[in-house]
């Protein structure tokens, strides 16, 4: 047993794929590399190897590297070797040595070109499920690792350690033992040495049982993930998500959707509950602080999640005809062009046609946030800018983010509200064109 499982995973790849096998020098990775080399011609993929030296065990770590170099040389398999200072990263980040080593190792491996094959086996899967269960998890954590996730391949995931050792002995293969695997300093090792043997006494087929269970749970997780994506799609509105649609969703989907919106590796339950409470509040705008300098807001029936820095306005810019200015904090560019004879009525909400007769001969505009006392003339007369924003149901947190275009005579236009009634140009008028575009879009300049 082993070759059929490896063959089944590799057959899911496109013909001619490049596969990089992560090789530590231990039993599992040596067996995987040998099996991949044996299947390479049959399945038509290109095989290379990658080894990361964690430099944690001095001469022993260097010995692992030398062993892998020699092995790949004998088998004529191209090898890439990386190194990293695990202790330094752990000191800088506060991670455990195990966490720091994993981060550096995977950063190196993911930099390799092609599919990445790792030697995780069925016994590793049992350990991962128990680790996730102890730390607290949901379906995704209980489903643990999958045989294939994007570029990551785990061809041995349904193969037991006993079958791997049998394969090594059958083919007369040598490997290196990592002395740290015998220590109890890491939680994974303590589970391996003390907890899992007790579970195997109750169920000798523990690895196979867990493999079947995790496969079922991954199916359930995939279905719920699809339903959650559909919920978010239904609730999506410009600038946020409809609170009523999210609030009426089944609990399982709603909490999943909120965790996805909050983001991060594992949103805390307290943050999910706080954002969930926003969905049913009716007392106007309210907000909840989130990690990473972000905030969740309920505004006019929409849930918005944004950076706190995004609510503090922007730096004003000045603009003359033929010039383009950038408003980087808003992700916008603004350009003033003309004069032109306006042929048709302007219908684009991000373009304003300003009547030349109501402007200075060579206008110079300031694009700025609103100021106290600002007023905008409309068809019903002059109103304060604040009142017009309230009437337009523009959330309070976003009012300082609407660019106001003004000259020496006053406001000429406000993005999101429109042009001052006495400054607007009609078809046949000579006009200046003031246009706002996204930073990502190309303009004529």
Mean pLDDT of 366-379: 89
Q: Please name which of 149, 158, 139, 141 lies closest in space to residue 228, comparing C-alpha atoms.
A: 139
The residues near 125 (Cβ < 8 Å, ≥ 6 apart) are: 144, 145, 157, 207, 210, 211, 214
pLDDT of 213 above 60: yes
Pick 266 or 106 by higher pLDDT: 106
**CA separation for the pair 405, 384 (Å, rounded):** 15
Q: Is 123 annotated as a binding residue?
A: no
Q: Is 257 annotated as a binding residue?
A: no
- Mean pLDDT of all residues belonging to the chain: 90
pLDDT of 383 above 70: yes
In contact, 419 and 407? CB cutoff 8 Å:
no
**CA separation for the pair 125, 141 (Å, rounded):** 11
pLDDT of 268 above 80: yes
Pick 156 or 371 by higher pLDDT: 156
CA 111 from chain centre, in angstroms, equals 18
Q: Is 82 annotated as a binding residue?
A: no
CA quadruple 117, 119, 123, 124: dihedral positive or negative? negative
Per-residue model confidence as pLDDT tens digits over 63-110? 999 999 999 999 999 999 999 989 999 898 888 888 899 999 999 999
Q: Is 240 annotated as a binding residue?
A: no
Per-residue model confidence as pLDDT tens digits over 330-360? 889 999 998 999 988 888 889 999 999 888 8
Determine if residue 362 is left, alpha or beta; phi over 0 gives left, psi from -120 to 50 gives alpha, anything else beta: beta
Per-residue model confidence as pLDDT tens digits over 243-264? 999 999 999 999 999 999 998 7
pTM above 0.75, yes or no: no
pLDDT band (50, 70, 90) for residue 442: very low
pLDDT band (50, 70, 90) for residue 309: low
In contact, 96 and 87? CB cutoff 8 Å:
no
Q: Is 70 annotated as a binding residue?
A: no
pLDDT of 181? 80
pLDDT of 443? 40
Least confident of 22-26, 38-42, 323-327: 323-327
In contact, 281 and 217? CB cutoff 8 Å:
no
Q: Is 58 annotated as a binding residue?
A: no
pLDDT of 445? 38
């Amino acid at each position: 047993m082993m070759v059929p499982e490896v063959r089944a995973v590799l057959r899911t790849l496109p013909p001619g794929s490049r596969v990089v096998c992560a090789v530590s020098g231990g039993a599992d990775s040596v067996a995987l590399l040998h099996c991949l080399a044996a299947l390479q011609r049959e399945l038509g993929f290109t095989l290379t190897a990658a080894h990361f030296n964690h430099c944690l065990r001095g001469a022993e770590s260097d010995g692992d590297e030398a062993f892998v170099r020699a092995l790949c040389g004998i088998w004529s398999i191209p090898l890439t070797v990386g190194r990293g200072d695990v202790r330094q990263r752990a000191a800088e980040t506060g991670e455990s040595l195990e966490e720091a080593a994993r981060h550096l190792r995977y950063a190196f491996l993911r930099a390799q070109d092609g599919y990445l094959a790792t030697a995780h086996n069925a016994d590793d899967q049992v350990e991962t499920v128990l680790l996730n269960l102890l730390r607290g998890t949901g379906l995704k954590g209980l489903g643990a690792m999958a045989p294939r996730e994007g570029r990551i391949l785990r061809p041995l995931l349904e193969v037991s350690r006993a079958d791997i050792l049998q394969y090594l002995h059958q083919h007369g293969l040598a490997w290196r033992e990592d002395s740290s695997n015998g220590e109890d300093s890491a939680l994974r090792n303590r589970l391996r040495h003390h907890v899992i043997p007790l579970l195997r006494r109750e169920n000798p087929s523990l690895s196979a049982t867990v493999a079947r269970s995790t496969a079922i749970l991954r199916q359930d997780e995939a279905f719920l993930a699809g339903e959650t994506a559909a919920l978010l799609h239904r609730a999506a509105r410009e600038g946020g998500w409809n609170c009523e649609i999210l609030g009426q969703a089944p609990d399982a989907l709603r909490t999943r959707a909120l965790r996805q919106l909050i983001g991060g590796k594992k949103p805390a339950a307290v943050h999910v509950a706080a954002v969930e409470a926003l969905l049913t509040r009716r007392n106007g705008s309210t907000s909840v602080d989130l990690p990473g300098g972000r905030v969740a807001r309920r505004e006019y029936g929409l849930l918005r999640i944004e950076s706190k820095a995004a609510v503090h306005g922007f730096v004003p810019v000045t603009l003359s005809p033929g010039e383009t200015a950038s408003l980087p904090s808003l992700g916008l560019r603004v350009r003033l062009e003309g004069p032109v004879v306006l042929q048709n009525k302007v219908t684009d909400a991000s373009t304003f046609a300003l009547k030349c007769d109501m402007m200075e001969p060579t206008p110079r505009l300031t694009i700025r946030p609103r100021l106290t006392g600002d007023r905008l003339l409309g068809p019903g007369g002059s109103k304060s800018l604040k009142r017009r924003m309230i009437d337009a149901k523009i959330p309070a947190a976003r009012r300082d983010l609407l660019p106001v275009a003004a000259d020496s005579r006053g406001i000429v236009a406000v993005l999101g509200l429109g042009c001052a009634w006495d400054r607007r140009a009609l078809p046949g008028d000579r006009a200046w064109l003031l246009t706002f575009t996204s930073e990502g879009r190309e303009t004529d300049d």
